Amino acid sequence: MTTQPASTGIAARAPEMLSVLRITSALIFTLHGSQKLFAFPPTEQQPPLLSLFGIGGLLELVGGLLLLVGLFTRPVAFVLSGMMAVAYWMFHAPGNLFPTLNGGDAAILYCFVFLYIFVAGPGPWSLDALMRRR
């Protein structure tokens, strides 16, 4: 039985897939912020800007856009991961501990995806990687 080196085969695409994970997560996350701040996509709830939800929306929008383009990726991902942990424990867990019942499954998933991006970095398709190459 032969094994392929990590630089060939499907494992060779791991860095690009990290970028895809970052970009996809950031796009969806950014929509949460635009919904809170600009009611787009349309929603009936638009929190005051200086409320916890408004500040959360600002972090979602700005942080999501920074992650989308891969700029300041590690510090932004760290902050957003912490924000999602706080969101889960402050707003979801008090209602019920089970994420499928309290609506907090997305917060947990974002928390750990952003924590992974903090550790792994932005991937090759990012402004951070572009600036590092120059």
- In angstroms, the CA 81 to CA 105 distance is 14
Q: What ranges do the domains of the chain cover?
A: 16-129
Closest CA to 116 of 65, 86, 74, 62: 74
Q: What value, to the nearest 5°, has the Cα angle with vertex 51 and ends 72 and 61?
A: 30
- In angstroms, the CA 78 to CA 96 distance is 26
- Intra-chain end-to-end CA distance of the chain, in Å: 42
| pLDDT digits (tens), the chain, 134 positions | 555 565 678 999 999 999 999 999 999 999 999 999 999 999 888 899 899 999 999 999 999 999 999 999 999 999 999 999 999 999 999 999 899 999 999 999 999 999 999 999 999 999 999 999 98
- In angstroms, the CA 77 to CA 61 distance is 13
Q: What is the pTM of this model?
A: 0.91
Q: Under 8 Å CB-to-CB from 116, ≥6 apart: which residues?
A: 21
3, HSE (Cβ side, Cα atoms, 13 Å) = 4
